[in-house]
């Protein structure tokens, strides 16, 4: 998952939105750590309890874990409270547990689903919008 994140991270640019979904332990945070590594960040940790972290750099990384927001039943409202629109234009935004509430943040996004069994992971990437036309890893 780390290597996949590095490959993905090398193609990202300001304003990109990545939504990650999968069960607990699927590798979502490890994928974000790989993205962070490609962007020059070496200390990317899960923002589960703080909900979001911004790693500032030449291309900043906004890392959101929406798990607790989804549990509240008011995820859309709380995502608005995070005020992600302001810095998103100059950063890459990755949202773990990024469902339809998160999808409304941009018409251009990558939706990544990770399915994990005991022995393997299956990753499905869906490119949405013109920004991702022709996208390949």
Output the tens digit of pLDDT for each of the chain's 137 residues: 999 999 999 999 999 999 999 998 899 999 999 999 999 998 887 766 556 788 888 899 999 887 655 555 555 545 555 555 557 788 999 998 877 777 777 899 999 999 987 778 999 999 999 999 988 88
Count of C-beta atoms within a 10 Å radius of residue 95: 28
Q: Given this model, what pLDDT does residue 33 score?
A: 95
Domain architecture of the chain: domains with CATH: 2-131 (3.40.50.300)
pLDDT at 77: 47
């Amino acid at each position: 998952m780390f290597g996949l994140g590095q490959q993905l991270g090398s193609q990202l640019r300001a304003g990109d939105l990545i939504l990650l979904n999968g069960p607990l332990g699927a590798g979502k945070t490890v994928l974000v750590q790989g993205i962070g590594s490609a962007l020059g960040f070496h200390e990317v940790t899960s923002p589960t309890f703080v909900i979001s972290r911004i790693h500032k750099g030449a291309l900043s990384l906004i890392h959101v874990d929406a798990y607790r927001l989804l549990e509240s039943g008011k995820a859309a409202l709380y995502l608005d409270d995070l005020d992600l629109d302001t810095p998103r234009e100059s950063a890459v935004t990755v949202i773990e547990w990024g469902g339809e509430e998160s999808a409304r943040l941009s018409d251009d996004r990558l939706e990544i689903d990770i399915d994990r069994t005991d022995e393997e992971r299956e990753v499905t990437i869906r490119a949405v919008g013109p920004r991702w036309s022709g996208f390949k890893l």
